[in-house]
Chains A and B, each alone.
Chain A
Amino acid sequence: MATEVLMPALSPTMEEGTLAKWLVKEGDEVASGDILAEIETDKATMEFEAVDEGIIGKILIDEGTEGVKVNTPIAVMVEDGESVDDIAAPAANEDDAKDSAPKETDRPDGDKAPAQPTRQSAPPETDIPEGTDMRSTTVREALRDAMAEEMRADDTVFLMGEEVAEYQGAYKVSQGLLDEFGARRVIDTPITEHGFTGLAAGAAMGGLRPIVEFMTFNFAMQAMDQIINTVAKTRYMSGGQMSCPIVFRGPNGAAARVAAQHSQDYAAWYAHVPGLHVVMPYSASDAKGLLKTAIRGDNPVIFLENELLYGQSFDVPEMDDYTVPFGKARIWREGEDVTIVSFGIGMKYALEAADALAEDGITAEVIDLRTLRPLDYDTVLNSVKKTNRCITVEEGWPVASIGNHLSATIMERAFDYLDAPVINLTGKDVPLPYAANLEKLALVTTKEVIEAARAVTYR
């Protein structure tokens, strides 16, 4: 019986890829384990093996095709004596394949999940000169560009972490840096978070500016003592004599289906600690501008990225030296009826919700905090004074969340302006489950944001 060969998902977050090369041709006999094709994801080029034996009946997707969605039929295998002509047109099966197989990469977006990553364009920043050319850039490239620019400018800046050099980054963020800067400045570490975080602290005290990549922030838990007890406190404990200007960066929060130990948002944890700056960008331009500010600054910075955003493209200004200051929120969308405050991946849900609400005549003002420490209280309070309603959106757990802190601040400083209680939308108060349906339920969704906005506007 003829079977379709589907475009495989080669990483937890892969949504599409490039069919780089076919290693078989129509009519070839293949055995299980034979390499059929090379497939390029946004992270790596992977070999794709046959699962069953058979004959390549027909190749449906030509090599070199970009943007092939996961689960798209790419070839048809037939058995001996079977003809390709017997097979029904594969296009007819495409929808079936999509519906029946739960996509590993589905995000818990509620009812309005867009299949395509949305390319957001934000209102121009006031500090970008008018007429500046903008270039569509992924968050991944923006982060790499920021590091490369700062490393070119300052020899004391170096990058260390697991797989940052020869592997080109576990998530390909450091791609090309080893080639440009060499092994002295782009350093593969053993898997030893506690040790290399302490080592970075010493290197910083000794006059260097380390960028430490955690493969994910989940692994930074191993290094928590050094981050909090050494890095955050050295300046204070030494009466200002010494400090640890380190940027700790890497993906934070839930990726896709990697379950409890690999899916956690640390924003509120780090935001608790005086002595740290905490940054959590959403767009590529902010990722670049904020990372440059982080590397250049004299303070330790926790820079929380998101794996699901790495591949998303945004406009980034083409400037020699584009930086974004800390402590300045960005108003993505102005509105009159409700203020939605978020940061990082939460912005995706906030913006999607704002689009949906606009269709129903509710205008939401959407604020991206961008940095959680320092936090731009004024922008939030001024917005709340205008809209009289506020909801907060974040992926982390509900207890002692960033939203809780904002609610308390709004209560203290804008109590009389409130026409409804502030609602904090967060991840649910559970370890993140693996099952696709439960994972969706555990994370904050666009639908919840929409419902909360309706609740506070009584509409």
Chain B
Amino acid sequence: MAARKSADKKPSKSNTSKEELLDHYREMLLIRRFEEKAGQLYGMGLIGGFCHLYIGQEAVVVGLEAAAEEGDKRITSYRDHGHMLASGMDPKGVMAELTGREDGYSKGKGGSMHMFSTEKHFYGGHGIVGAQVPIGTGLAFADKYKDNGRVTFTYFGDGAANQGQVYESFNMASLWQLPVIYVVENNQYAMGTSMQRSSSTPDIYKRGEAFAIPGEAVDGMDVLAVKEAGLRATEHCRAGDGPYILEMKTYRYRGHSMSDPAKYRTREEVQKVREERDAIEHVRELLLQGKHASEDELKAIDKDIKNVVNDAAEFAKNSPEPAVEELWTDIYA
């Protein structure tokens, strides 16, 4: 067991295929364009309530999905649109849930923060900070009980990392050697409170040490580094060695939610990350530099993605509101 820091280490790019890079590019771009569209629809009043955008953090979920196998599970907080798209859920169904319509994944009854897909092994979408951590641990418990070789990616943020139930979960996961990967998406701000103002120690990946859980810090803006770390973690879990912690150093470009004016940080800070560390730009450069794709080919991909997102938005606008009878369904079996 050792906590290690791999954030500064650049992964080798030679063994990453052209197809793989293009897949990462497409998936990250889909998330970004989808979220931009969701932001627009929110501004138009078509999406209500809380809406937490994933823009900036795309490499985390895309890299880890590349390390996952069929049947692996994932669960996250309310900043969940990216996870759903990356797990293969239909953008139309996700967007229709955002607009509260009957074709949404939860028939319009869950909204942005509460969406699920049994088919894609996506277990939500949870609105209470940190609550998904023991639940994800329980999903892993079920896998171990069934001895099916599956792992669960349990995502939470730097804010949730200060919830007590996280450490209750660490203890049980290590005690019972559960196949769960705790993915800390450290975007540096818990709503408006920075890490240094909320956390006594800066390295969340080391917080498993007390429970003998190995952890590592990862450059969460580098999709290839994320994937490699994900493979190390899944291998550890599948070997029956218990839980693993990955702290993804990432950044969100938008506010905590749509209604957050983000006065707690400077425009310059955000701009600097966008210019220097953007995950999509990084892969774009790799594709162009490696002559894997031309500008025109990338433009064509951009156009495809834009169409997918526009179709999803149109679908979500036109899907009817849930029938009034739905008020009373799905409470009991």
Report which A residues bind B (CB closer than 8 A). Answer: 158, 184, 189-190, 192, 194-208, 225-226, 229-230, 234-243, 245, 274-275, 277, 297-299
Residues B145 and A198 in contact, CB atoms below 8 Å apart: no
Q: Are A298 and B331 CB-contacts (below 8 A) given A190-B171, A195-B168, A202-B136?
A: no
B123 to chain A, nearest CB (A): 5
Residues B110 and A238 in contact, CB atoms below 8 Å apart: yes
Out of B127, B134, B164, which one reaches A199, CB within 8 Å? B134
Bound form: Cα–Cα A9–B295 in Å: 85
Residues of A within 8 A of B115 (CB): 238
- What are 18 sample pairs from A and B whose C-beta atoms fall under 8 A apart? A192-B171, A194-B134, A196-B172, A198-B135, A202-B139, A202-B142, A204-B138, A226-B131, A235-B332, A236-B331, A238-B124, A239-B110, A239-B116, A241-B105, A274-B331, A275-B331, A277-B332, A298-B333
Interface string of B121-155 (1 = CB under 8 A from A): 00111111001011111111111011000001000
B106 at the A interface (CB under 8 A): yes
Bound form: Cα–Cα A255–B232 in Å: 51
The list of the 6 closest CB pairs from A to B, nearest first, reads A202-B138, A198-B134, A195-B168, A206-B142, A298-B333, A239-B107
Residues A202 and B134 in contact, CB atoms below 8 Å apart: yes
Residues B169 and A199 in contact, CB atoms below 8 Å apart: yes
Chain B contact-residue range equals: 35 or more
Residues of B within 8 A of A203 (CB): 138-139, 141-142, 145
Residues of A within 8 A of B109 (CB): 236-237, 239
Residues B138 and A243 in contact, CB atoms below 8 Å apart: no
Residues of A within 8 A of B114 (CB): 237-238
B134 to chain A, nearest CB (A): 3
Residues of B within 8 A of A190 (CB): 168, 171-172, 175
Residues A199 and B172 in contact, CB atoms below 8 Å apart: yes
Bound form: Cα–Cα A146–B171 in Å: 31
B330 at the A interface (CB under 8 A): yes
* CB-CB nearest in chain B for A200: B138
B155 to chain A, nearest CB (A): 14
Residues B128 and A237 in contact, CB atoms below 8 Å apart: no
Out of A158, A194, A206, A277, which one reaches B168, CB within 8 Å? A194
Out of B135, B164, B331, which one reaches A202, CB within 8 Å? B135
B110 to chain A, nearest CB (A): 4
* CB-CB nearest in chain A for B111: A237
Q: Of residues 87 to 108 in B, which have CB atoms within 8 Å of A's CB atoms?
A: 104-108
Residues of B within 8 A of A184 (CB): 145
A282 to chain B, nearest CB (A): 24
Tell me the interface secondary structure of chain B in the complex. mixed
Q: Are A192 and B139 CB-contacts (below 8 A) given A226-B134, A241-B118?
A: no
B14 at the A interface (CB under 8 A): no
B319 at the A interface (CB under 8 A): no
Bound form: Cα–Cα A239–B125 in Å: 13
Bound form: Cα–Cα A226–B118 in Å: 20
Residues A207 and B142 in contact, CB atoms below 8 Å apart: yes
Out of A158, A194, A243, A245, which one reaches B165, CB within 8 Å? A194
Residues of A within 8 A of B138 (CB): 198-206
A243 to chain B, nearest CB (A): 7
A428 to chain B, nearest CB (A): 34
* CB-CB nearest in chain A for B150: A206
Residues A197 and B139 in contact, CB atoms below 8 Å apart: no
Residues B134 and A275 in contact, CB atoms below 8 Å apart: no
Q: 10 additional contacts, CB 8 Å, given A194-B134, A207-B142?
A: A199-B141, A201-B138, A202-B75, A206-B143, A208-B141, A230-B128, A236-B331, A238-B124, A239-B106, A240-B329
B52 at the A interface (CB under 8 A): no
Residues of A within 8 A of B227 (CB): none
B117 at the A interface (CB under 8 A): yes
Residues of B within 8 A of A200 (CB): 138
Q: Are A237 and B137 CB-contacts (below 8 A) given A203-B145, A243-B333?
A: no
Residues A201 and B168 in contact, CB atoms below 8 Å apart: no
Residues A198 and B331 in contact, CB atoms below 8 Å apart: no
Residues B117 and A230 in contact, CB atoms below 8 Å apart: no
Residues of B within 8 A of A230 (CB): 126, 128, 131, 135
B95 to chain A, nearest CB (A): 15
* CB-CB nearest in chain A for B143: A206
Q: Are A275 and B172 CB-contacts (below 8 A) given A237-B110, A239-B105?
A: no
* Residue of A205, A207, A243, A274 with most partner-chain B CB within 10 A: A205
Out of B133, B135, B169, which one reaches A205, CB within 8 Å? B135
Q: Are A242 and B116 CB-contacts (below 8 A) given A194-B134, A225-B131?
A: yes
Bound form: Cα–Cα A392–B200 in Å: 53
Out of B106, B117, B118, B168, which one reaches A192, CB within 8 Å? B168
